[in-house]
Amino acid sequence: MKKVAIITGASSGMGKEFVLTLDNYLNVDEIWAVARSKAALEDLKKMVNTEVRAIPMDLTDQECFFKMQELLEEEKPDVRLLINASGFGIFDSTNDMKMADAEGMVDLNCKAIVKMTKLALPYMYEGARIMNIASMAAFQPTPYMNVYSASRHLC
């Protein structure tokens, strides 16, 4: 059974750093790198020794979870690690914030984490780990971080 680590938000920021850092520590056959930017995910392949599978998908799009489910059913991997590091924040008054941005934060910062975790769990065995990246903003009131903070509190 192929051992894999699934890392979302792998195209930049913390998700990418997890890929680069864990390359030296993880005993896995493949890192499944998830984000929208295919080019950035492909670039990762040149930066690490571990095999990287680029999985370009928009985690606010329900369709992508069907694709991920299919991939998991096909490969039946041993998922040793899931890191949910994708996320974004728009900081504005609730009144002025676009509905699409508010919805997007809930979809990506909360719902995608729940869905990825639900999909991966049947393929995770003893000793496997899940890491969800939240934010200190989840625990303190901060001006203009209304929907963002709530979305991070829920995750």
Ligand X SMILES: NC(=O)c1ccc[n+]([C@@H]2O[C@H](COP(=O)([O-])OP(=O)(O)OC[C@H]3O[C@@H](n4cnc5c(N)ncnc54)[C@H](OP(=O)(O)O)[C@@H]3O)[C@@H](O)[C@H]2O)c1
Binding site for ligand X (CB under 6 A): 9-15, 35-37, 40, 58-60, 85-89, 108-109, 133, 135, 152
Q: How far is the CB of 118 from ligand X (least distance, A)?
A: 17
Instruction: Tally the C-alpha atoms within 13 A of residue 104's C-alpha that lie toward its C-beta.
Output: 12
Question: Which lies closer to ligand X via its Cβ, residue 11 or residue 50?
Answer: 11
Q: How far is the CB of 141 from ligand X (least distance, A)?
A: 16
Residue with tokens 């890491």: 131
| Residue whose Cβ sits closest to ligand X | 13
Q: How far apart are CA 112 and CA 118, in angstroms?
A: 10
Question: Which lies closer to ligand X via its Cβ, residue 57 or residue 124?
Answer: 57
SS3 assignment, position 21? helix
Question: Which lies closer to ligand X via its Cβ, residue 50 or residue 86?
Answer: 86
Q: How far is the CB of 40 from ligand X (least distance, A)?
A: 6
Question: Which lies closer to ligand X via its Cβ, residue 40 or residue 128?
Answer: 40
Q: How far is the CB of 108 from ligand X (least distance, A)?
A: 5
Q: How far apart are CA 66 and CA 136, in angstroms?
A: 31
Q: How far is the CB of 143 from ligand X (least distance, A)?
A: 17
Residues 65, 67, 68, 69, CA torsion sign: positive
8 A C-beta contact, residue 120 and residue 131: no
8 A C-beta contact, residue 10 and residue 87: no
Question: Which lies closer to ligand X via its Cβ, residue 89 or residue 154?
Answer: 89
Strand partners, 82: 6, 130
